Structure 1
């Protein structure tokens, strides 16, 4: 079976050289092979489409395909491609062969600040929740330029003044266990500003990156659905067929939502608050669909494969944890608030 996950029904699977490289890699990469995962990320960087560049659907199909195969692989590649898209949008470049993360989270008791120094900037402090920081060469990090505004900066993670805190016994995930998030301690490290203060969150590309993550969720759900469609041992009974139908319903809704969003992004017809609303809407639809697929797989297949099929059990745990990046009811409340303030598309 072709591993490619299309977003258009009955579409002919594409075979561009970079897409064939993905197919070849999926046949050899093993779970937990972070070196191999990041090598694939670096190889895909120059060739993969950028959002809003006319081939957004192809980009999100790539992310879904990686997610369907192994969410840890997708979790390593997606932020690298997002970082390169941000750098392109800002008119900046990336060193050949570099691997990137995007570290924008904040946490209690941790603060990273930036101050001008000559023609560049100097960063000081602690940045929490830096996924794969010990394995990446570079990152885009947000840092406070004053009490109210953050800027975005390109940081060499292997340069002087940057130390990655080691993972300790508090890191105990059962999903995405190899995608370790640690703090980085920055002591006078030089950095390059990417866009002006506040630019990272204001740009429409922030919304497109959020939808890219939803494409990975969709792929993770497709991977589980494929396992349900090929049950080991006894065939599906009537209840199993009911859940297979539910899975079809969930995935069809998620796929159609992603495909429509890709067309809108490439057409350039949404921006500003409409871009943010589109991202929230798509992420909410895909997250609900993925949670529905999780429930149907567990109900239809029972406990057996959770204790006897390592890949299936890992897929369940990975997707559950990854979906918690979605803000769930908070995002729905924000979507409703935006509809109330600006008018929903269905009420105009």
Structure 2
């Protein structure tokens, strides 16, 4: 792995995957021995770690904290399947896209889509290791529970008013 998070770093996990084209990861052609051409990602401490030649391109939706996070763990599609990558978010070629998600109930979450263009990335774990782990798909139930709770509160208020 890479270095441990440092003071002042703010990490996000961006793993949403709606239908349609999204974020892709590719390994860059490397040396004659077939190794990937490495790149470097720096931690806030200045410590460098090699990215092994992986690059991200495309758009990732629903990136909460896009303007305040310094790093993110991001799922992206590879030729072998979906994989998690660590990325430093101050790299040239990373752009939060204004107005891409109008989250009225979550306006303070700062969750726009983010565009990536040839961004160095460090693979984390194995292909499918993050999203195929037990419990990952159940995480969405928390969002549904919030909506159900909100809808129930509105319905209870309306029913109480109708009974008066």
Answer yes or no: same fold by TM over 0.5: yes
Determine whether 1:115 maps to 2:26. Answer: yes
For residues 252-267 of structure 1, the aligned pairs below 5 Å read: none
CA contact (8 A) 1:153 1:194 kept: yes
Pairwise CA distance, 1:172: 6.3
| 1:100–1:136 CA contact under 8 A, matched in 2 | yes
Q: Give the TM-score normalised by the residue count of structure 1.
A: 0.34
SS in 1 for 2:63: strand
Cα displacement string for residues 42-85 of structure 1 (whole angstroms, at most 9, x for unaligned residues)? xxxxxxxxxxxxxxxxxxxxxxxxxxxxxxxxxxxxxxxxxxxx
The higher-RCO structure (CA 8 Å, 6+ apart) is 2
2:157 aligned residue: 298
Deviation at 1:111, TM superposition (A): 2.1
The alignment status of 1:96 with 2:17, answered yes or no, reads no
CA distance in 2, matches of 1:290, 1:165: 30
Deviation at 1:181, TM superposition (A): 2.2
Secondary structure at 1:105 match in 2: coil
Q: Indicate conservation of the 8 Å contact 1:110/1:127, yes or no.
A: no
The answer to which structure has the higher strand fraction is 2
- Give the CA deviation at 1:154: 1.1
The answer to whether the aligner puts 1:164 opposite 2:91 as a matched pair is no
Q: Corresponding residue for 2:134?
A: 204
More helix by share: 1
Count of matched residue positions in the alignment of Structure 1 and Structure 2: 140
CA distance in 2 between partners of 1:176 and 1:135 (Å): 16
Asked if the contact 1:110/1:128 (under 8 Å) is kept, the reply is no
Distance 1:120 1:92, change over 3 A: farther
1:145 aligns with 78
When normalised by structure 2's length, the TM-score is 0.66
Q: Choose the corresponding residue for 2:106, options 161, 176, 193.
A: 176
Unpaired stretches in structure 1, ≥5 consecutive residues:
1-89, 218-282, 303-348
| C-alpha distance 294-199 of structure 1, shift in aligned 2 (>3 A) | same
Larger Rg: 1
CA 1:184–1:155: 2 relative to 1, 3 Å:
same
Partner residue in 1 for 2:117: 187
Superposition map of 1:53-72 within 5 A = none
SS of the equivalent of 1:298 reads helix
Alpha-carbon offset, residue 95 of structure 1 = 3.1
Distance 1:93 1:163 in 2: 25
| Cα deviation code 1:16-57 (max 9, x no counterpart) | xxxxxxxxxxxxxxxxxxxxxxxxxxxxxxxxxxxxxxxxxx
Partner of 1:238: none
Q: For residue 162 of structure 1, report the CA deviation from its aligned partner.
A: 1.2
Q: 1:162 to 1:176 in 2, by over 3 A?
A: same
Match of 2:32? none
Shift of 1:153: 0.7
